[in-house]
Amino acid sequence: MAATGTEAKDLENHHNDCFIQLPNPNIATMKEDVLYHFNLSTSTHDFPAMFGDVKFVCVGGSPSRMSAFIRYVAAELGLDHPGKEYPNICVGTDRYVMYKVGPVLSVSHGMGIPSIGIMLHELIKMLYHARCTNITIIRIGTSGGIGLEPGSVVITQQAVNECFKPQVEQIVLGQRVFRSTNLDAQLVKELMQCSSDLNEFPTVVGNTMCTLDFYEGQGRLDGAICSYTEKDKQAYLQAAHAAGVRNIEMESSLFATMCSACGLKAAVVCVTLLDRLQGDQIDTPHDVLVEYQQRPQRLVVHFIKKSLGKA
């Protein structure tokens, strides 16, 4: 029997939906999935009811920044009102924080690949259990720039490792596994267009180098240990710039790998707090840094509003 017009439309919408993909057959056999670091469980929480309408997930390192971000989102989407509270969904644990308003989820991930990796495993499973579709996930954060004025925003084209290769290395069962760090090219274009719409701060598309360390791993001279010279450092950073690297941070490669593997449309948007070719320490006044940190948030919220037809 041929489908009716309504049935055909429902079928078309179903096929257009992009579901979370979990490349782990073990999840389907589990009676309960405990997301320990979120203090959430499939047996104690109704994930579809709590998160089923989520379409945008924004993650960042700082708990306080992600709390402020959800209030900003609420105000910009017209969902805020005097006295409204935004409780931490992960209450009961001090590892991460999570806030929700409308279709937007705001989650902290801590600092570095190990921390964001743990968070992403549980976040992606949570979205899967909630039967979320058509998710866009964006990391918003801070970084060190290479050859850019402080306060510039970098939309990551490709996450690369310390050798400028677009891959991340993980040790799995004692074996070295290399995975690619793909990000969504169309989302990069859309975010860049949003920056042009705002026309508030300099924004570039470039490669982002993801390191395992803040000091030696990023060629800083001011750590407790340093075995190279200023000349060595400059040669390394210049080589990075020649390879298309425009900023350095500590989470983008694993973020890109995990999101790509699970079918999530993902992007990384970071502001630069300094130009590493000019120095290693951040001595910018606090109020200026606060304004810098808000720039990725303004860009991403404009993208969300535009996607929802509210810009």
Report how far Cα 83 is from the mean position of its chain's Cα atoms. 29
- Quote the CA–CA distance of 163 and 78 in Å, as a whole number: 45
Contact assessment for residue 220 and residue 123, using Cβ atoms and an 8 Å cutoff: no
DSSP letter string, 213-250 = -SSGGGT-SSSS---S-HHHHHHHHHHHHHTTEEEEES
Q: Residues forming the annotated binding site for substrate?
A: 218, 220
- Quote the CA–CA distance of 100 and 50 in Å, as a whole number: 9
* CA dihedral sign, ordered 198, 192, 218, 297: positive
Q: Residues forming the annotated binding site for phosphate?
A: 95, 139-142
Q: Residues forming the annotated binding site?
A: 95, 139-142, 218, 220
Closest CA to 268 of 121, 80, 163, 142: 142
